[in-house]
Chains A and B, each alone.
Chain A
Amino acid sequence: MGFLSNLINGISLGSIYAVIALGYTMVYGIAKMLNFAHGDVIMIGGYFVYLSSSKLLHLPPVLSVLIAMVACTILGITIEKIAYKPLRKATSLAVLITAIGVSYFLQNIALVIFGANPVTFTSVVSIPAIKLFDGQIVISGETSVAIVVSILVVIGLSLFIKKTKTGKAMLAVSEDKGAAQLMGINVNKTISITFAIGSALAAIAGALYCSAYPILQNTTGAMPGIKAFTAAVFGGIGSIPGAMIGGILIGVIEILGRAYISTQLADAIVFAVLILILMFKPTGILGKKMVEKV
């Protein structure tokens, strides 16, 4: 029973990673850059939910998550416009350092505004816990909401990409920027929309993550961010169902590692998984093989 309840917790955490990983995977697929700041957008989203639901406005949870989504969308588009857009043609080293700079900027602006002391986040979930097997396994409201939300997000996003014009434009840009432009697709707008969607998802992930682990401070987003990137690589970068599978696997590995191997080494285990994947199957589970052209 202990194993089953750990497994459920792992799937729940993994669902949150999956939502974050979607942001990574979409941005990587389309802009071909690792958005290091994505994890910190989660933290900013968490703060927005915190401010609007409990600290300042006392709004209902759903409304405060919506506010955070709007705020993070604006933030995401702004970051893209100011920091990444001028570097579209620059080397990957320059883009990567800029992304690290943005990540550092968000962490430190949060430090200046909100202070170094962590705040206690009030959960946005008010669904009662589900008890199974006479109370031997308790699935908290947060857990069920995280799983349901992530499934909905993945289905919604897949439909969006397959069925809508904007979604198809995203696919086209990720395949070949130049050709997409020739077909009349506005590449810059498509990249902006990708960042907007990724950031809105980061806000949802922020609300879910902080509800499950209710301590919010300026570095909150960094670790889930890197782990979600691991998940995105695991599933195959650029693939939406891959992000879901990768996220859940990473979540389960982390929780089981924490439970059965060592609490302190749980993070190390997840990172070791990342290194192993990149060594043996850099394209991930569902990723496509990339051929390098001269």
Chain B
Amino acid sequence: MLKKLKFKKPDTKNSFVTYGLLLVTFAIVKILFEAGKLSYMIKDLLVPLCVYAILAVSLNLTVGILGELSLGQAGFMCVGAYSGALFSNLLEEAIPQVLIRFPLAMIVGGICAAIFGILIGIPVLRLRGDYLAIVTLAFGEIIKNIFASVYLGLDANGFHVSMKTASDLNMDLDGEMLINGALGLNGTPRDSNFTIAFIVLFITTIVAYNFVNSRTGRAVMSIRDNRIASESVGINVTKYKLITFALTAFFAGVAGSLYSHNFSTLQASKFDYNLSILVLVFVVLGGIGSIRGSIVASILLTLIPELLRGSIGKYRMLIYAVILIVMMIVNNGDYFINLKEKISVKFSSKFKKTKKEVV
């Protein structure tokens, strides 16, 4: 049936295949879920799976479309997680309906993360390559460290903030501890569930595809391919970089908010450098620039090690590291690029096809 639908551009078809795959996967999982065929382990994984997929899709916008490496994904996620959780926690009574409160919390988380993204982006995005990567990494660590040392409490007298200890807050006895330093967030309502998480993932995917295929997206890609040339035809490099960076941060924040509402307590130490690297691994192994690839990679690479826990759990990260290196060398190394050209020349002379892939 899909074949009968005529799409104007191959990009549109590509995105609709992804939407279709997502919906089918969701339907199957939902049926299995309702039928009670899923183990507790898988059920617990459903929301984190969506969260990782959102993180990977959003990071792909920066890595794949903008062509810059950001290692601060965990930091933006941390901002989103904390701000979203605080929002829900404070307005739990004011907005009792989960379906209104939770989306608002996610938007708040996303906007807070995007604000951080812009604040960090303005000074930093004029850096490129290695420097940008290390600065985003540094930023992520700063965020993590700051959130891990904040104490925030609420009682009848209002908010109490301290950077030192919980007892410094001087709260009333009936006061509620909102952020407990290194112990993290407290009392977040557990609003996340698989359906909501899936919807957010679906929306993220739609936005990502439309962003890539929009005028803005094409401008961003031209910056990736040749910054100086695109600047010379009047593309505002900083503006488009900032837009991409903010969009990445926004969805990371949404994912963070989704994640924090999946647990009643959450520590800032979860959002460390390794999480950023893990998301990067998803993006790279799924194919830099491929949104569908990011989703598939983040789901498979989270699910497979969990299912095989024990036998390869110990070697999981080691295997990822090896695949990461091998993929980079095969895709970018001189030797393999020459090899691929030779093969394609051979084939094209046989079939008279002169299609050359542009990487």
Residues of A within 8 A of B (CB): 28, 33-34, 82-83, 86-98, 100-102, 104-105, 107-109, 111-112, 222, 226, 229-230, 233, 262, 264-265, 267-268, 271-272, 274-275, 278-279, 282, 294
Contact = CB atoms under 8 A, between A and B. Distances in A.
23 contacts: A34-B134, A83-B325, A86-B333, A92-B128, A93-B63, A93-B67, A94-B332, A98-B325, A98-B328, A98-B329, A101-B328, A111-B317, A112-B318, A226-B134, A226-B137, A233-B131, A265-B146, A271-B142, A275-B124, A275-B135, A275-B138, A279-B123, A282-B127
B60 interface: no
B142 A94 contact: no
Given A98-B324, A104-B317, A108-B315, 8 more contacts: A90-B333, A93-B67, A104-B277, A108-B318, A262-B149, A264-B148, A265-B163, A271-B142
A104 B276 CA distance: 12
Contacts of A82: 325
B277 A100 contact: yes
A25 to B, nearest CB: 13
Contacts of A93: 63, 67-69, 129, 288
Interface in B265-316: 273, 277, 280-281, 284, 288, 314-315
Nearest to B331: A94
Q: Please tell me the size bucket of the interface on B.
A: 35 or more
B321 A271 contact: no
B357 interface: no
A267 B269 CA distance: 14
A4 to B, nearest CB: 25
Interface in B130-163: 130-131, 133-135, 137-139, 141-142, 145-146, 148-149, 163
A118 B194 CA distance: 38
Interface of B: 63, 67-69, 123-124, 127-131, 133-135, 137-139, 141-142, 145-146, 148-149, 163-164, 182, 228, 273, 277, 280-281, 284, 288, 314-315, 317-318, 320-322, 324-325, 328-329, 331-336
Contacts of B321: 101-102, 104-105, 108
Contact of B332 (A87, A264, A278, A279): A87
Contacts of B135: 274-275, 278
A274 B120 CA distance: 13
Most B CB contacts (10 A, CB to CB) among A33, A107, A112, A278 go to: A278
B221 to A, nearest CB: 14
A264 B149 contact: yes
A275 B135 CA distance: 6
Given A33-B130, A86-B333, A97 B149 contact: no
Given A267-B145, A272-B142, A275-B135, A96 B129 contact: yes
A111 to B, nearest CB: 7
Most A CB contacts (10 A, CB to CB) among B130, B134, B324, B332 go to: B130
A226 B137 CA distance: 9
A18 to B, nearest CB: 18
Contacts of A271: 138-139, 141-142
Nearest to A223: B141
Contacts of B317: 104, 107-108, 111
A97 B63 CA distance: 10
A98 B326 CA distance: 8
B129 A105 contact: no
B334 A86 contact: yes
Contact of B334 (A88, A96, A279): A88
B324 A97 contact: yes
A278 B284 contact: no
A64 B30 CA distance: 59
A83 B329 contact: yes
A90 B130 contact: no
B134 A104 contact: no
A86 B69 CA distance: 20
Nearest to B284: A97
Contacts of A229: 134
Contacts of B284: 97
A268 B67 CA distance: 27
B297 to A, nearest CB: 14
Most B CB contacts (10 A, CB to CB) among A102, A107, A274 go to: A274
Q: List the 3 closest pairs (A to B, CB-CB), nearest first.
A: A86-B333, A101-B324, A271-B138
Nearest to B227: A292
Nearest to B182: A264
B325 A96 contact: no
Most A CB contacts (10 A, CB to CB) among B163, B321, B322 go to: B321
A265 B143 CA distance: 10
A91 B145 CA distance: 32
A98 B68 CA distance: 14
Contacts of B332: 87, 90-91, 94
